[in-house]
């Protein structure tokens, strides 16, 4: 057994002890003793003790109604505190002689390898400066923690930083513990679950705060490190305008199936980003005004500042006035439509150029040391964050555009566009895109849905170009889906290029992605409007829900290969946008491994991906943590660009074809063709109850119906709660078992050893199987599922066991994660606190379902707390 690091254990123990003291103060010794009995019983039961299992069951069964909620909260908060300790442990101070974390070393080690591989320093410097990585923050409802609690968790992490010094006195340590206990007390007396569902503006406010709280601090640090590395390896500095990583957002722009995201919301969110950016820059400028008191300056700067003893301050105060005007206008415009005064900053250059002038002047006057301090950091922030912090993407379903155009063409007496064949649509769209006259008459009165589509396009047309990212079309299928959006934008007054991005989500659409893009690129009317690379979004969530992860992963890989070939043939750059989630069932994987497993040529210095839900906090919630994860992104994209993996061997492709085919049949055989499956799913999991958890602004369903109508996130979230983890492995059971029975085990092992795509898929499968727990899933069935559905649950657990056996046979291990005993021990530690939450949840679900209508109160609150606690314990839940 490899022990968890002693310092991590110490912090986990300390936080748990302080939580116990807070509980004792609030609820007394009796409840704390029951919680401790439950914990010990769960630990013993996990170790196979019948006595421990009996004690656990009896203690839980003996809880009074008024004890259910505090017990659920105790285990939930312990898991949250353990997460904080674990997060901090990865970024803790290293002692003399202790190795730095591998995340921090990924980029410098890669540069050394690239130099050794023959890349010239000049080429490396150019490649790094031209990297184009964009992380798109989304508001998918898997972040179960309230923002007020996240702030307290961050404060606890700060106290762990303060504690991590060897020379602290006993008094100083005592004060830190006192502050920790006060914070834990504040957490205990704060409700974990929101009373109301957040609005899209609330979500956007949270996203902007995530940038301002952490990424704002992290980006100048990481760019400074890159600059130092480039100078060390290549003798060149990173250009001032280089922004190898930028950020975008879907919060307030993603209206796919979310009626709460309107044109007004999008306009308000754009103003919100503008206001927050101006506020952050004002702090920077005030600091610079205080620091840049020197007199010597270049004639270029003096020409703007006039004859003044402090010319830098003169220029910076002028900039401050413009930022104040921008901030105040953005606030006022949230309440009424106001034209922007002339002083409002509209373009990034208006902020960048005065700062750059100060920077050049300081260097020219022998004050480079001063220039390379706070002023350089401010310039780096302007390069990365611009005037809006994040660029807002717009996303809408293709059917909304099709319906809108159908209504318009019907009104004009041309017939119903929505019913036309693809060839007729394309002919109409091309004609209208080239036609200078408006399509819409002035007196046209659209329906409410069409009016909303047009209003959104009008907001896009009015917004500054720098504030917007891409217009993403979900459920895109045909070339006409892209041209339809371009026409609607043209009719709404957009006269500049905007990337219109088809999102291919289902298995059929992925298979048809390359032909669709080939058809688009062959159209002169489209090529004239293509500004920059051809962006295509690859859907991971819905393709996995449609076909299972085995078939979906292979379809995603092949679609990317074919798209690379199509764009190469048409001499167009390709930008692939990866719609990944946090879980394996939604394409989740550690960023470094995921990027390096892409097809060769698909990552050519460009990479765009979503960062979703709770993963934003886990990866970027603290500045040091953000630096580590951004380092991994930079290293992986650079490596995939300059040292791409070789293409798979023909035999591997053929075997992967068979795996995908078998996986598809097996997955759909259960999810689509098993008549009892939907009933079983809704009884065995808290899927229905999740709809009552006020996590995000978006409804759980796109429409009424069965599994096909359910969004990918609650589909996966529900199975995660019961530990069956079905969406992540279903299909692999038959795929791997059939391959092994055909005698292809040796070839599978070879693919795992030499093909990054397959090895990453298998590693992620192993990770999720290690989190699965058939015994826990069986307990849910026994407590919640009708007798006639129990055989289906047993069958699914048999398939889970079969998948585990196949993975172990391929990897040559005796148990899952035996190559990562530290990770396995961390899982074991969490299970001690997860098991009671699962058992409580089963009981609370049973009680809740016996009520004719859900009632607000301790029972409902306790149920929702167990959902939050299990999510915290398993972390990547959505």
Q: Measuring CA to CA, which residue among 253, 249, 147 is closest to residue 198?
A: 147
3-state secondary structure 713-724: HHHHHHHHHHCC
Distance CA 265, CA 267 (A): 5
Helix, strand, or coil (residue 600)? coil
Give burial (CB, 10 Å; 0-12/13-18/19+) of 703: exposed
Q: How far is the C-alpha of 39 from the C-alpha of 56, rounded, in Å?
A: 8
Helix, strand, or coil (residue 194): coil
b/e sequence 122-142, b meaning 16+ C-beta within 10 Å = eebbebbbebbbbbbbbbbbb
Neighbour-count burial for 540-558, b at 16+ CB within 10 Å, e otherwise:
bbbbbbbbbbbbbbbbbbb
Burial (CB count within 10 angstroms: exposed 0-12, middle 13-18, buried 19+), residue 99: exposed
Report residue 339: phi and psi, to 5°: -65, 145
Q: Are 502 and 537 in contact (CB under 8 A)?
A: yes
Q: From CA 118, how far away is CA 877, in angstroms rounded?
A: 43
Which stretches within 643-676 are classed as H helix?
650-671
**Alpha-carbon span 73 to 59, nearest angstrom:** 16
- Is 545 a residue of the active site? yes
Phi (first) and psi of residue 701, to 5 degrees:
-120, 145
Phi, psi of 265 (to 5 degrees): -60, -45
**Active-site residue, 163 included:** no
CB atoms within 10 A of CB 653: 15
Which listed residue (34, 89, 140, 578) is catalytic? 140
Query: What letter would DSSP give residue 132?
Result: E
Distance separating alpha carbons of residues 135 and 524, to the nearest angstrom: 31
Catalytic residue among 545, 578, 592, 771: 545
Indicate the Cα dihedral angle 61, 63, 68, 73, nearest 10°.
-100
DSSP string, 243-306: -SEEEEE-TTTB-TT-TT--HHHHHHHHHHHHHHHHHHHHHHHHHHHHH-------HHHHHHH-
Contact assessment for residue 450 and residue 403, using Cβ atoms and an 8 Å cutoff: yes
Q: In this structure, are residues 835 and 46 in contact, taking their beta carbons and an 8 Å threshold?
A: yes
Nearest to 552 by CA among 775, 400, 340, 735: 735
Cα–Cα distance for residue pair 103/635, rounded to 1 Å: 9
Catalytic residues: 140, 545
């Amino acid at each position: 057994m490899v022990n968890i690091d002693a310092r991590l254990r110490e912090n986990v123990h300390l936080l748990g002890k302080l939580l116990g003291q807070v509980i004792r103060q609030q609820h007394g010794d009796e409840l704390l003793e029951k919680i401790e009995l439950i914990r010990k019983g769960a630990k013993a039961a996990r170790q196979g003790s019948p006595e421990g299992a009996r004690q656990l069951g009896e203690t839980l069964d003996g809880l009074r109604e008024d004890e259910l909620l505090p017990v659920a909260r105790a285990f939930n908060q312990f898991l949250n505190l353990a997460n904080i300790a674990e997060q901090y442990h990865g970024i803790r101070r290293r002692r003399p002689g202790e190795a730095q974390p591998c995340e921090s070393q990924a980029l410098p080690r890669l540069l050394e390898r690239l130099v050794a591989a023959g890349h010239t320093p000049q080429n490396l410097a150019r490649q790094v400066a031209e990297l184009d990585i964009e992380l798109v923050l989304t508001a998918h409802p898997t972040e179960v923690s309230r923002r007020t609690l996240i702030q307290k968790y961050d404060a606890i992490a700060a106290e762990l930083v303060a504690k991590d010094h060897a020379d602290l006195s006993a008094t100083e340590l005592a004060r830190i513990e006192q502050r920790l206990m006060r914070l834990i007390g504040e957490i205990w007396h704060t409700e974990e679950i929101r009373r109301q569902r957040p609005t899209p503006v609330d979500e956007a406010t949270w996203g902007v705060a995530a940038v301002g709280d952490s990424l704002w601090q992290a980006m100048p640090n990481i760019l400074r490190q890159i600059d130092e590395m480039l100078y060390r390896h290549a003798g060149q500095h990173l250009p001032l305008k280089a922004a190898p990583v930028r950020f975008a957002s879907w919060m307030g722009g993603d209206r796919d199936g979310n009626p709460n995201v309107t044109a007004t919301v999008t306009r308000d969110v754009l103003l919100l980003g503008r206001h927050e950016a101006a506020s952050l820059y004002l702090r920077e400028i005030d600091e610079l005004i205080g620091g840049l008191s020197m007199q010597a300056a270049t004639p270029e700067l003096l020409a703007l500042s006039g004859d003044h003893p402090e010319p830098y301050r003169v220029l910076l105060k002028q900039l401050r006035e413009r930022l104040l005007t921008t901030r105040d206008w953005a606030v006022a415009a949230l309440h009424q439509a106001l034209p922007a005064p002339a002083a409002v900053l509209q373009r990034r250059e208006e902020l960048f150029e005065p700062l750059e002038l100060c920077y050049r002047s300081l260097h020219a006057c022998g004050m480079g040391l001063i220039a390379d301090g706070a002023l350089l950091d401010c310039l780096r922030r302007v390069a990365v964050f611009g005037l809006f912090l994040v660029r807002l993407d717009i996303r809408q379903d293709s059917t909304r555009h099709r319906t809108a155009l159908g209504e318009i063409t019907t009104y004009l007496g041309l017939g119903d566009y929505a019913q036309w064949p693809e060839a007729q649509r394309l002919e109409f769209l091309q004609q209208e895109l080239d036609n200078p006259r408006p399509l819409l008459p002035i007196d046209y009165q659209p329906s409410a849905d069409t009016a909303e589509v047009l209003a959104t396009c009008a907001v896009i047309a009015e917004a500054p170009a720098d504030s917007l990212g891409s217009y993403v079309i979900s459920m895109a299928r045909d070339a006409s889906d892209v041209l339809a959006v371009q026409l609607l934008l043209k009719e709404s007054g957009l006269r500049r290029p905007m990337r219109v991005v088809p999102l291919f989500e289902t298995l059929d659409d992925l298979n048809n992605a390359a032909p669709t893009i080939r058809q688009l690129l062959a159209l002169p009317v489209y090529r004239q409007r293509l500004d920059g690379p051809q962006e295509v979004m690859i859907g991971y969530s819905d393709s996995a829900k449609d076909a299972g992860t085995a078939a979906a992963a292979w379809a995603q890989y092949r679609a990317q290969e074919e798209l690379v070939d199509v764009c190469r043939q048409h001499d167009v750059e390709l930008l692939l946008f990866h719609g990944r989630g946090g879980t394996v069932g939604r394409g989740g994987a550690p960023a470094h491994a995921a990027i390096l497993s892409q097809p060769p040529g698909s990552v050519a210095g460009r990479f765009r991906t979503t960062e979703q839900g709770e993963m934003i906090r886990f990866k970027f919630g603290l500045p040091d943590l953000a630096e580590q994860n951004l380092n991994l992104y930079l290293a992986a994209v650079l490596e995939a660009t300059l040292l791409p993996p070789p293409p798979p061997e023909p035999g591997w492709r053929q075997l992967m074809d068979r795996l995908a085919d078998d996986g598809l049949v097996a997955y759909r055989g259960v999810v689509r063709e098993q008549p009892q499956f939907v009933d079983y799913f809704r009884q065995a999991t808290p899927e229905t109850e999740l709809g009552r958890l006020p996590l995000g602004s978006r409804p759980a369903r796109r429409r009424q119906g069965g599994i096909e109508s359910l969004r990918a996130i609650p589909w996966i979230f529900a199975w995660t709660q019961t530990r069956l983890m079905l969406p992540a492995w279903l299909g692999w059971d038959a795929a791997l078992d059939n391959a092994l029975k055909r005698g292809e085990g040796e070839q599978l092992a070879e693919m795992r050893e030499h093909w990054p795509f397959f090895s990453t898929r298998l590693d992620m499968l192993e990770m999720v199987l290690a989190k699965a727990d058939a015994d826990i899933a069986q307990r849910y069935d026994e407590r919640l599922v009708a007798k006639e559905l129990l055989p289906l649950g047993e069958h699914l657990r048999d398939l889970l066991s079969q998948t585990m056996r196949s993975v172990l046979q391929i990897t040559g291990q005796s148990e899952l994660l035996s190559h990562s005993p530290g990770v396995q021990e961390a899982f074991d530690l969490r299970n001690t606190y997860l098991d009671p939450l699962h058992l409580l949840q089963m009981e609370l679900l049973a009680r809740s379902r016996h009520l004719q209508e859900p009632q607000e109160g301790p029972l409902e609150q306790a149920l929702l707390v167990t959902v939050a606690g299990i999510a915290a314990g398993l972390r990547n839940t959505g």
